[in-house]
């Protein structure tokens, strides 16, 4: 067997994604360790650099140092490039370069793209890549312009700096990363809190998070709807479930926090509504918040953990188990209660292997969060709610924190780094990468009976 044949068997699409992210994180760590990446000219250290590079490449947004004050323009640019490549996928960027050079995209490369974009088949995957790049560019440019204009008037920033802030935050929010530069004008780790009651900023920021979180397949369906007059089952599930989770989530946060003096209490009615909706949207994997997460009631914090666990849509820049997985689980429960054999969504029967995959993904994800929450409980001297919140945020690549991130011990940083990486790849991708090719058994085992419930 030739070396090339062996490499093709060993480097499956999931393994290419696993090693690709590792290479990208390693390169980012090396660059962020350089003194030139630091605002003070003194290196932030390899562990902090590794944490930041992982958070950026995995579009999480958890930070151990403030992005706006701790990094130079060079360091901030490295982070932004990692966010951009990590958000739309390094294979997407590689394909773009190949297309520019008029290189043919091989079948193997199409298979990797299919895995990276969570596309159902390899048919049309290159066309989808072109759409991903075009849609990302258009949305990020529009977001940058809208934000830059507002920064000039709301923060009195010079036009050049306002454009820089606009571009940075547009790319960061669309890719659901949550890195911001507000610390350089309003103090370290200030985030977007000053815009809590600002309708304009709330709408623009939520729109960027929403568009990045619904996935490129859904964006493509929406833009082509006027021409084809139909929408796929996937898009129907994503849009309907997202709408329900955002508005129901916002309502629950509003009701639980309306009188909390540390969060919504001091705001007027409009501010309470905007803040509630924003916190609900950002759990889709946004990474920024407009109220103090540590000041929320524990019931609200736990509810947000559930929302972060669900996450965004497949093929998006967000994380979590994905909203379609959550809907399939509900569908399976409904089918079992009604005594039906099949899961049916919008009058379409869902294949059983897809339902099994959703159940497997959910169980593996729960086990990962439990495992790393236990590890953090051993190494960190904090209350368990903060630890569980941090674990869910890291796994869901959400990037919001109750304040634990900046106080992590070296071991704690390592655990969160691992969880961010696993959350971005997805437990199933990692499992497929670590196992050999699955072959169908040539026989059926005899049926056994077991009592449950």
Looking at the domain assignment, is residue 444 inside a domain?
A: no
If you write DSSP's letter for every residue of 340-360 in order, what string do you get? -SSEEETTEEEPHHHHHHHHH
- 453 lies in some domain: no
Contact 265, 157 (CB under 8 A): no
For 63-87, give the DSSP string: -SS-HHHHB-HHHHHHHHHHHHHHH
Q: Which residue has the tokens 């849609």?
A: 135
With beta carbons less than 8 A apart as the criterion, state whether 354 and 342 touch: no
Predicted pLDDT of residue 122: 62
Tens-level pLDDT at each residue, the chain (453 residues): 444 444 445 566 667 778 888 999 999 999 999 999 999 999 999 999 999 999 999 999 999 999 999 999 999 999 999 999 888 765 565 555 555 555 666 666 566 565 555 555 666 666 767 777 888 889 999 999 999 999 999 889 999 999 999 999 999 999 999 899 999 999 889 889 999 999 999 999 999 999 999 988 888 888 888 888 889 898 999 999 999 999 999 999 999 999 999 999 999 999 999 999 999 999 988 889 999 999 999 999 999 999 999 999 887 778 899 999 999 999 999 999 998 989 999 989 999 988 998 998 899 999 999 999 999 999 999 999 999 999 999 999 999 999 999 999 999 999 999 999 998 887 767 666 555 555 566 777 787 878 776
Residue 212 forms part of a structural domain:
yes
Task: Report yes or no: 285 and 319 within 8 Å, Cβ to Cβ.
Answer: yes
Q: H or E element: which one contains 227? A: helix 216-228
Domain annotation covers residue 445: no
Q: Which long-range contacts (CB under 8 A, 24 or more apart) does 341-348 make?
A: 345/233, 345/236, 345/237, 346/233, 346/236, 346/237, 348/233
In the numeric block, the tokens 């419930």 are attached to: 453
Structure confidence at residue 341 (pLDDT): 87
DSSP H helical ranges for 89-179: 90-100, 107-117, 125-154, 159-174
**pLDDT value at residue 129:** 74
**C-alpha gyration radius of the chain:** 22
Q: How far is it, in rounded angstroms, from Cα 404 to Cα 62?
A: 10
pLDDT of residue 335: 93
- Give residue 114's pLDDT: 59
Total number of domains in the chain? 1
Q: Is the dihedral of CA 437, 443, 445, 447 positive or negative?
A: positive
pLDDT of residue 185: 92
Residue 442 located in a structural domain: no
Whole-angstrom distance, CA of residue 276 vs CA of residue 173 = 18
CA proximity to 180, closest of 164, 162, 195, 168:
168
- What length does the chain have? 453
Q: Which domain holds residue 298?
A: 8-434
Q: How many CA atoms lie within 13 A of 207 on its CB side?
A: 14
pLDDT at 447: 79
Contact call for residues 319 and 312 (beta carbons, < 8 A): yes
390, 405 contact by CB (below 8 A): yes
**Could you tell me which residues come within 8 angstroms of residue 330 by beta carbon, excluding any fewer than 6 positions away?**
none
The pLDDT, as a whole number, for residue 135 is: 86
């Amino acid at each position: 067997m030739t070396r090339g044949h062996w490499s093709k068997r060993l480097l499956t699409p999931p393994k290419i994604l696993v090693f690709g992210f590792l290479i990208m994180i390693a390169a980012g760590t090396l660059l962020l360790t350089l003194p030139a990446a630091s605002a003070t000219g003194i290196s932030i250290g390899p562990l902090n650099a590794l944490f930041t590079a992982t958070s950026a490449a995995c579009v999480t947004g958890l930070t151990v140092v403030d992005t706006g004050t701790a990094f130079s323009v060079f360091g901030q640019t490295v982070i932004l490039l990692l966010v951009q490549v990590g958000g739309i996928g390094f294979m997407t960027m590689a394909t773009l370069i190949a297309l520019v050079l008029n290189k043919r995209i091989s079948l193997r490369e199409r298979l990797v793209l299919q895995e990276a974009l969570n596309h159902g088949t390899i048919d049309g995957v290159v066309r989808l890549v072109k759409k991903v790049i075009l849609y990302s560019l258009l949305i990020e440019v529009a977001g940058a312009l809208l934000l830059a204009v507002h920064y000039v008037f709301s923060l009195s920033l010079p036009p050049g700096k306002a454009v820089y802030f606009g571009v940075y935050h547009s790319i960061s929010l669309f890719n659901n990363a949550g890195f911001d530069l507000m610390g350089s004008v309003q103090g370290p780790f200030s985030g977007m809190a000053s815009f809590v009651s600002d309708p304009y900023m709330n709408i623009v920021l939520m729109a960027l998070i929403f568009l990045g979180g619904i996935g490129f397949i859904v964006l493509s369906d929406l833009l082509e709807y006027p021409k084809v007059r139909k929408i796929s089952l996937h898009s129907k599930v994503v849009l309907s479930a997202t709408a329900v989770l955002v508005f129901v989530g916002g309502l629950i946060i509003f009701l639980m926090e309306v009188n909390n003096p540390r969060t919504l209490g001091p705001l007027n009615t409009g501010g309470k509504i905007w803040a509630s909706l924003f916190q609900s949207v950002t759990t889709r994997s946004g990474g920024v918040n407009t109220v103090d997460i540590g000041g929320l009631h524990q019931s609200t914090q736990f509810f947000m953990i559930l929302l972060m666990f669900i996450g965004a849509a497949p093929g998006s820049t967000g994380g979590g188990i994905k909203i379609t997985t959550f809907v399939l689980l509900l569908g399976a429960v409904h089918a079992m209660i009604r005594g039906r054999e099949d899961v049916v969504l919008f009058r379409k029967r869902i294949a059983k292997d897809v339902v099994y995959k959703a159940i497997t993904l959910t169980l593996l994800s729960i086990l990962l969060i439990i495992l790393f929450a236990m590890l953090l409980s051993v190494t960190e001297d904090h209350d368990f709610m903060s630890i569980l919140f941090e674990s869910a945020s890291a796994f869901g690549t959400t990037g919001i924190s109750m304040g634990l991130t900046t106080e992590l011990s070296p071991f704690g940083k390592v655990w969160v780094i691992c969880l961010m990486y696993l959350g971005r790849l997805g437990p199933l991708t990692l499992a497929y990468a670590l196992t050999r090719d699955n072959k169908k058994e040539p026989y059926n085992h005899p049926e056994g009976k077991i009592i449950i419930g």
